[in-house]
């Protein structure tokens, strides 16, 4: 019996497509209702380094992968990752026990070694999640979600950054194996790894370019599989050929499943883009209205500023005029104070002399003459005090003519 190892790869172009793959793993899609035995779903194997508590949550695991590694998504139309199906012949598994037993040693080796192969091929941090179904009719298929990365050099002074790059990863595998196509190189790579770590009898399938085979849909292969089981006792060459095609049946199922997921993902993506376009139209209208409102408010504010500037200019002119009036008044007051001081200085000197004379002769004067003299002295004292207040700025200077004059009185 010939045993085969094969691999199928599909690019994941969007989160919507990744969510469709997740929905199938959670058994929430329509295809699962037709092909799945719910009583065995709990036997399915799944692992994720980035979502260990719930490995089937692929979107959550993908986001955790980007956070943990710091990787960013590629440019426009760049793939987010690869959906890889690693396949071994179910006949190899049935040799060691039940095809749908998760503890079957061949199932365990296929599940673990497919993950190890993905890490070696695409990078140690690239494997986001893995799943091996035990509730479908076929077996020997391991689903892998892989996000290979590479360092992208930044241009114009920007720093290099880690970026998801499916194209570079496939080109590297193609270069290492010297194949004409990257997918053919992946076939070589997985077959070599499976032969070394799963079973040494596993062989790479013959290339389609050599055999001319056309992949057959899963329903047709299921009927062929039933016929093979009915004639299992006949150890003929036809039985070997039938078992050899079993691996291709698994591949066809995997491809049909991938195509179904991709179709659903495309429909969801189309609906999302339509909704997004409508939302952008509403946003553009709202933004245009907001811009018009802000421009009107800005124009009003500019007019207010212009009015305020004109008012400030008028106020500045008024302040300058008042400052000139004050300067003129200050000059006039200074001149009056100087004139007052010139007029009062000799009078004060004379008053001091009179007071000194009065002190000397007061006692010699009659009583009436003494009272008149005291009145004159009081007037001179008040004149001296007012002069001192004017000098200290405590009193404004009035007309000289308003100063009180002593009344003439008869002394005898």
SS (H, E, C) 213-229: CCCCCHHHHHHHHHHHH
**This prediction's pTM:** 0.54
pLDDT for the residue 410: 46
Nearest CA-CA partner of 92 in 217, 234, 247, 225:
247
pLDDT for the residue 256: 77
Q: Is residue 228 part of a domain?
A: yes
Indicate the Cα dihedral angle 27, 32, 37, 38, nearest 10°.
30
Domain count, the chain: 1
Reading the block at residue 52, the tokens are 């260990």
Q: Is residue 262 part of a domain?
A: yes
According to DSSP, the β-strands at 3-12 and 202-204 are parallel
- Cα radius of gyration (the chain): 54
> Which residues are CB-contacts of 100 (< 8 A; sequence separation ≥ 6)?
40, 43, 134, 135, 139
Q: Is residue 400 part of a domain?
A: no
Q: Is residue 258 part of a domain?
A: yes
pLDDT for the residue 64: 97
Q: Is residue 288 part of a domain?
A: no
Q: Is residue 355 part of a domain?
A: no
Nearest CA-CA partner of 247 in 14, 4, 77, 83:
4
Cβ–Cβ < 8 Å for 341, 391:
yes
Say how far apart CA 337 and CA 343 lie, in whole Å: 10
pLDDT for the residue 219: 40
DSSP 370-408: HHHHHHHHHHHHHHHHHHHHHHHTSS----GGGS--PPP
pLDDT for the residue 342: 85
> Which residues are CB-contacts of 41 (< 8 A; sequence separation ≥ 6)?
27, 134, 135
Strand runs labelled E in 188-330: 202-204
Reading the block at residue 30, the tokens are 């329509």
C-alpha 294 chain-centroid distance: 27
Distances (CA, A) of 188 to 111, 117, 142, 152, 203: 18, 12, 17, 28, 9
Along the 412 residues of the chain, how does pLDDT read in single tens digits?
789 999 999 999 999 999 999 999 999 988 877 889 999 999 999 999 999 999 999 999 999 999 999 999 988 889 999 999 999 999 999 999 999 999 999 999 999 999 999 999 999 999 999 999 999 989 999 999 999 999 987 667 678 899 999 999 999 999 988 877 888 899 999 999 999 999 999 998 765 544 344 443 344 334 344 444 444 555 656 666 676 677 677 777 777 787 778 788 888 888 888 888 888 889 888 988 999 899 899 899 889 989 989 999 999 999 999 999 999 999 998 898 888 888 878 878 887 887 787 777 766 666 666 677 777 778 878 877 877 777 776 665 555 455 455 554 444 4
Cβ–Cβ < 8 Å for 218, 249:
yes
Distances (CA, A) of 371 to 22, 368, 376, 408: 125, 5, 9, 12
Cβ–Cβ < 8 Å for 104, 88:
no
pLDDT for the residue 7: 95
Reading the block at residue 366, the tokens are 């009659």
Distances (CA, A) of 168 to 122, 125, 150: 10, 16, 8
Burial of residue 284, with CB atoms counted within 10 A of its CB: 0-12 exposed, 13-18 middle, 19 or more buried: exposed
> Which residues are CB-contacts of 312 (< 8 A; sequence separation ≥ 6)?
none
Distances (CA, A) of 407 to 257, 310, 401, 404: 133, 62, 15, 9
pLDDT for the residue 211: 38
According to DSSP, the β-strands at 127-132 and 141-146 are antiparallel
Question: Does an H or E element contain 240, and which?
Answer: helix 237-361
Cβ–Cβ < 8 Å for 198, 88:
yes
CATH number at residue 29: 3.30.930.30
Query: Which 3 state secondary structure label does DSSP give 164?
Result: strand
Q: Is residue 380 part of a domain?
A: no
Say how far apart CA 389 and CA 383 lie, in whole Å: 10
pLDDT for the residue 84: 97
Q: Is residue 411 part of a domain?
A: no
126: containing domain: 3-278
């Amino acid at each position: 019996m010939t045993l085969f190892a094969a691999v199928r790869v599909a690019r994941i172009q969007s989160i919507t497509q990744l969510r469709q793959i997740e929905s199938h793993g959670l058994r929430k899609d329509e295809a699962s209702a037709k092909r799945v035995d719910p009583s065995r779903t709990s036997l399915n194997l799944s692992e994720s380094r980035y979502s260990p508590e719930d490995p089937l949550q692929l979107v959550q695991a993908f986001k955790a992968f980007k956070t943990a590694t710091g990787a960013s998504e590629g440019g426009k139309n760049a793939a987010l990752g690869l959906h890889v199906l690693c396949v071994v012949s179910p006949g190899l598994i049935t040799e060691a026990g039940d095809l749908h037993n998760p503890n079957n040693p061949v199932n365990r080796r296929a599940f673990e070694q497919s993950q190890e192969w993905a890490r070696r091929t695409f990078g140690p941090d690239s494997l986001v999640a893995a799943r091996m179904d035990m509730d479908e009719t076929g077996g020997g298929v391991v689903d892998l979600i892989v996000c290979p990365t590479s360092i992208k050099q930044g241009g114009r002074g920007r720093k290099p950054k880690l970026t998801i790059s499916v194209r570079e990863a496939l080109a590297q595998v193609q270069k290492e194996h010297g194949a004409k196509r990257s997918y053919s190189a992946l076939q070589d790579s997985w077959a070599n790894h499976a032969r070394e770590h799963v079973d040494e009898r596993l062989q790479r399938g013959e290339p389609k370019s050599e055999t001319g085979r056309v992949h057959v849909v899963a329903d047709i292969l299921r009927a062929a599989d039933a016929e093979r089981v009915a004639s299992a006792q006949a150890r003929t060459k036809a039985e070997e050929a039938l078992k050899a095609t079993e691996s291709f049946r698994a591949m066809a199922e995997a491809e049909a499943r991938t195509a179904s997921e991709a179709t659903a993902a495309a429909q969801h993506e189309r609906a999302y883009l339509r909704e997004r376009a409508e939302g952008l139209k509403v946003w553009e209208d709202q933004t245009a209205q907001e811009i018009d409102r802000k421009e009107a408010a800005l124009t009003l504010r500019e007019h207010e500023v212009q009015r305020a500037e004109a008012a400030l200019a008028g106020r500045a002119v008024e302040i300058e005029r008042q400052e000139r009036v004050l300067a003129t008044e200050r000059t006039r007051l200074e001149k009056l104070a100087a004139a007052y001081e010139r007029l009062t200085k000799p009078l004060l000197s004379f008053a001091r002399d009179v007071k000194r004379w009065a002190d000397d002769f007061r006692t010699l004067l009659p009583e009436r003459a003494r009272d008149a003299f005291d009145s004159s002295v009081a007037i001179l004292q008040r004149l001296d005090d007012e002069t001192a207040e004017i000098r200290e700025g405590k009193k404004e200077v009035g007309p000289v003519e308003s100063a009180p004059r002593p009344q003439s009185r008869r002394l005898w």
